[in-house]
Amino acid sequence: MEEIIRYSGCFVCGTENPIGLKLRFWWDGSQAITEVAADKLFEGYRGIYHGGIIATVLDEIMVKAILATGKVAVTAEMTVRYHRPVRIGDTLSFRGRITKEKGPIVYAEAEAVDSEGNAYATA
C-alpha cells in the first residue's frame, strides 16, 4: 500500500495542526484506508465518540480516494448514516472509494467498520 499525501495544517491528516487527528491514509489500488481509535478527547455523550468526528473522517477518506487517483476535489454534498454508536476505546477502519465519474463530478462512498466488518457509519 502507498501512503496518500498529507497537508501539514489539515485538521484530519495534518502533522502540524495542534488540535488535529493526525491520521495517516493509505491507497491499496482501489480504495483509501485509515484506522481511528476513538479517543475520549472527542467524546460526545458519555462514553460515545462524537458523530461529527466520524462524519469528518468519512468526508476526508472519500476525498483521499479521489486525490489518490490524481484528481483534485472538494465535497459538494454528503449524507451520513449512523448504524450504531462508536464507544470510546473502539478502533474502526475507514474505507473510501470512487463509485462514479460524470464530467468534472466525482462520486464516492465511505464506510466505518470494526474488525469483524460491522458497519458503524456509511456515507
Q: Closest Cα to residue 65, out of 21, 4, 119?
A: 4
Number of domains in the chain: 1
- Domain assignment present for residue 2? The answer is no
Print pLDDT tens along the chain (123 aa): 999 988 899 999 999 999 999 999 999 999 999 999 999 999 999 999 999 999 999 999 999 999 999 998 899 999 999 999 999 999 999 999 999 999 999 999 999 999 999 999 999
- The length of the chain is 123
Range of the domain at 68: 27-122
User: Which SS3 state, helix, strand or coil, does residue 118 take?
Assistant: coil
pTM surpassing 0.85? yes
CATH number at residue 115: 3.10.129.10
